[in-house]
Structures are given as structure tokens and as C-alpha cells.
Amino acid sequence: MIVGLLENRKTTPSPKADARLRLRVTRRQECAQGIAAFDLAAADGGELPAFTAGSHIDVYLPGGMTRQYSLRNNPAERHRYCIGVLREAAGRGGSAYMHDRLKAGDTVETGRPRNAFELEDQAPFSVLLAGGIGITPILSMAHRLSALGRDFAFHYGARSMLRLAFRDEIQASAFADKVRFHLDDGPAEQKLDLAALLSNRRPGAHLYACGPAGFLDAVIAAARNAWPSEAVHREYFANAGRPNQAIKDRPFRVTLASDGRSFEVVPGRSIVEVLGENGIEIQVSCEQGICGTCVTRVISGVPDHRDLVLTEKQHAAGDRMTPCCSRALTDELVLDL
Ligand code: FES
């Protein structure tokens, strides 16, 4: 988650300071054009909170910036968190700070690992697809599946060999024989043929994809016929405005199940903003519907889902929502708050 990088904005209080970790940068390496890798460890060298494949951490940077980075290392490791950071030319400064200022020996504050891109590690077969910096959570999944002795296929696409991060690490791994590299500027025969790859599904197989929106859209389209939605897992870098955002926002009322207080959410305001102004804080991170931090249970009413983190099935069930960006299709939403 999230990726190598999710640029985001914080307008509401971040997690309590005591939930934060103070980590030391133990290693920094330029691992591809525009991509820097960082290893983070506890300042006292002790064990870090455990994580599962697909997890990410929030990194708190000066100026109130929070950025999210997927952990790419083996989840069995307790001594470090490994992240990869793509320098975003059009970013708002988070990736530039990481690239230009953060060096080995520095201290940085992070959140604890969270997972919005979980691996079904008991599946008999998995297909792992990574585009660009989307390699980071996929790598962690490959480590986990490999450690369990599960069968999987791993395809990693990049614009060019220069942009292919962690190649040495992958080629030295126990799963090197399962990985195929695909370069946009390479010969036609090595290009990733998603239609052919995803035209069939082995019984019980799960599919994971992380990368730019265009890549994920192509994966989802190619998988649509043979793969049920519950077997397709994807993680976006940013929410460019999808599901219902072409529909004009309408006002609605949000009610707290705990004490019955109700608040009007007008077009242009989010539930998180309105509740925050009234002293009800919901923990947020990305505020774009991609990290899952704010997911809240819905007691009644029908959410207008605008996120990219809940599955189609969860959207259809309507019993939870992301109040950072999602709205209501009914006049009132009662939330479990
Ligand atoms: S804060 Fe990330 S999904 Fe709502």
C-alpha cells in the first residue's frame, strides 16, 4: 500500500503518538532509477511488531506529511521493515523528502503495520502481478508463499531495465524461478499478455495485483470472465476518483449509533471532516479510500462507496464503509460510532 508510495494529505489527527514507532534507518540504497530502498529497525535493535504479507506502514515526515509504504520483506522477519520509495515528480514533497533527506542513521516515526491487501496464503495456487513500484507488497507475498511451499506465478513489469527495482534480490531469492520480468521497452515476446495469462483460473487460485491504475484496470478487465471477484485482490496507489464520483453529491445525515447525535454532511464535505469538527475523531491515513484505516461499521442506511479498498462483495453487503471519502445513497446513515 500500499505500495511503494501513496501520496496523501492529512487533515485530521494522526494516530496517538504512543501508537507510533521510532525507527532508525539502518540501510538506504538506490535500487533502480527513481527508486530508493530503506531498511528500518527499532532504535534499540529489538523486535518490531509482526506484520503479514501485503501490509504497509505510515511514515510521519516533517511538516505533518504522512506517507504510506508497503513492506516488501519476508513477514517472518522481526528485526526490520523494508520499504521502497518511488520519487514522485508531481508529488507533494513526501517522496522527495525521503529521497533527498533520509539517510542511514536517521530516525523516523512510523505507524504500526496494517494490512488492507491480505494474502490468502492457504490457496493452492496464486498469481502475483506487479507493475512498477507495486512490486513492494507483491515481494512480501512471494516470500510468504515461498516459505509455505505454495505454488505461485509472479510477473513483474517495469518501464525499462533501469526502472526494475530489486532485481538482484529477486534473482537471489528462493522463488527466482517463478518470476518473469516484462519490460515496456523490451521485445514483443516478453511483454505481459494479461488476456492469455488470466483467461483461465486454476481451481482455488487467487490473483494479486499492485501497480498504477491503468495496469490494475487492465488486470481486472482481463480477469473478469474467469476469476470471481473474491479471488481478485488489488491495491491502488491513489484514488483518482472512481465508482460514483461522476454522480453529483447529495446531502445526507450521519447519525451516531451510540448516542443518537446527527450531523448534516453537505456536498463537498466528508463524514470524517464533519464528525471531526464536532469532536468525533475517526482515525484516518490516506483520506482517499485506499488504505482501510477509517473503515467503520454501518448500522443502517446505504453507503455510496467511493473507495478502492473494500471488495465488490463488501460494497454490496453495505455493512461497512470508508467515511473519509464515501457518502450515502439514503437520507441517513447510522454508523457504529
Ligand atoms: S483513511 Fe484510508 S481508506 Fe479512509
pLDDT tens, position by position, 55-105: 999 999 988 888 889 999 999 999 999 999 999 877 778 899 999 999 999
Question: What pLDDT score was predicted for residue 236?
Answer: 83
> Would you say residue 1 has pLDDT above 60?
no
Task: Please state, in angstroms and rounded to a whole number, the distance separating the CA atoms of residues 156 and 253.
Answer: 45
Task: Please state, in angstroms and rounded to a whole number, the distance separating the CA atoms of residues 263 and 275.
Answer: 8
Lowest model confidence (mean pLDDT) among 137-151, 162-176, 227-241, 321-335: 227-241
Instruction: Give the ligand 1 atom nearest the CA of 307.
Output: 3
Cell of 64: 505533518
> Would you say residue 5 has pLDDT above 70?
no
CB burial of 254-263 (b: ≥16 within 10 Å; e: otherwise) equals bbbeeeeeeb
> Would you say residue 162 has pLDDT above 90?
yes
Question: What pLDDT score was predicted for residue 241?
Answer: 55
Q: Which class does domain 252-335 fall in?
A: alpha beta
> How far is the centre of ligand 1, averaged over its atoms, from the C-alpha of 28 (Å)?
29
* Highest-confidence segment of 58-72, 129-143, 280-294: 129-143
Instruction: Give the ligand 1 atom nearest the CA of 286.
Output: 2
Question: What pLDDT score was predicted for residue 238?
Answer: 67
Task: Please state, in angstroms and rounded to a whole number, the distance separating the CA atoms of residues 292 and 320.
Answer: 11
Percent of the chain with pLDDT over 70: 92
Instruction: Give the ligand 1 atom nearest the CA of 324.
Output: 4
Which CATH fold topology does 125-235 show?
Rossmann fold (3.40.50)
Question: What pLDDT score was predicted for residue 64?
Answer: 81
Which of 1, 7, 294 best tests ligand 1's pocket when mutated (most atoms within 8 Å of CB)? 294
Confidence class for position 255, pLDDT limits 50, 70, 90: very high
Q: Which long-range contacts (CB under 8 A, 24 or more apart) does 224-229 make?
A: 225/199, 226/198, 226/199, 226/200, 226/201, 227/198, 227/201, 229/311, 229/312, 229/313
Which of 325, 326, 327, 335 best tests ligand 1's pocket when mutated (most atoms within 8 Å of CB)? 325
Kind of pairing, strands 252-256 and 332-335?
parallel
Q: Are 321 and 305 in contact (CB under 8 A)?
A: yes
Q: Are 36 and 99 in contact (CB under 8 A)?
A: yes
Q: Are 255 and 335 in contact (CB under 8 A)?
A: yes
Of residues 150, 1, 172, 161, the one with CA closest to residue 72: 1
Confidence class for position 19, pLDDT limits 50, 70, 90: confident
* Rg from Cα positions in the chain: 20
Confidence class for position 311, pLDDT limits 50, 70, 90: confident
The whole-number average pLDDT for the span 211-222 is: 93
Task: Report CA dihedral (19, 24, 163, 136) to the nearest 10 degrees.
Answer: -40
Q: Are 156 and 179 in contact (CB under 8 A)?
A: yes
Kind of pairing, strands 6-7 and 65-70?
antiparallel
Task: Please state, in angstroms and rounded to a whole number, the distance separating the CA atoms of residues 244 and 322.
Answer: 14
Which of 2, 236, 270, 285 best tests ligand 1's pocket when mutated (most atoms within 8 Å of CB)? 285
Question: Is CATH 2.40.30.10 correct for 6-115?
Answer: yes
If you take atom 3 of ligand 1, which residue's CA is the nearest one?
A: 289
The whole-number average pLDDT for the span 307-323 is: 92
Question: What pLDDT score was predicted for residue 239?
Answer: 64
Domains of the chain, by residue range, sit at: 6-115, 125-235, 252-335
> How far is the centre of ligand 1, averaged over its atoms, from the C-alpha of 167 (Å)?
32
* Amino acid, single-letter form, for residue 120: E
Q: Residues with beta carbon inside 6 Å of ligand 1?
A: 284-287, 289-294, 307, 309, 322, 324
> Would you say residue 312 has pLDDT above 90?
no
> How far is the centre of ligand 1, averaged over its atoms, from the C-alpha of 181 (Å)?
32
Q: Mapping DSSP to helix (H, G, I), strand (E, B) and coil, where does residue 193 land?
A: coil
Q: Mapping DSSP to helix (H, G, I), strand (E, B) and coil, where does residue 208 land?
A: strand
Question: What pLDDT score was predicted for residue 16?
Answer: 47
